[in-house]
Amino acid sequence: MQNTEKIPSRWEVLARERNARVILCNTADTYVLLDIAKSADRGLKALRSRLLISLSPEKVIPLIEEYTEKVLALHKTVEIICKTANIKYPTPRGVKQIEGNNGNGNNKEDKPILDNDTLN
């Protein structure tokens, strides 16, 4: 009896990874965006892993903040594009997390450590 099971290709194996995304590109614009996203992913991972080791927070944090601002700007543009084209665009979970973050990392409103009553 022969073994007729096909050995999965490298791409099929990668597609099964927990952090993998398979995207069908319908326009050249998507190809460009995916190329940028791939490099951004590698760059951001490197920045975060080297933070406080070989890169200072003063250098890394502004870059990450700028990247986040650009992601939110792209989200707003895509939202308008989809609305204009009458296509449903659910806000991505990651964007909701960024927007709900308020800059303090815990999705809660910034609260002062001490209020005036505590000082009196």
Domain that holds residue 40: 20-105
Please report whether residue 32 resides in a domain.
yes
Segment 4-40, tens digit of pLDDT:
788 989 988 988 998 888 889 999 999 999 999 999 9
Residue 39 domain-assigned (yes or no): yes
Is 96 inside any structural domain? Answer: yes
Confirm whether 15 is domain-assigned. no
Counting the structural domains of the chain, the total is 1
Q: How far is residue 100's CA from residue 106's CA, in Å, rounded to a whole number?
A: 9
- Which residues lie across from 51 on neighbouring strands? 55
24 assigned to some structural domain? yes
**Residues belonging to the chain:** 120
In a domain, 80, yes or no: yes
Give residue-wise pLDDT tens across range 88-119: 999 999 999 999 875 544 545 544 444 444 44
Q: At a CB cut-off of 8 Å and minimum separation 6, what does 88 contact?
A: 82
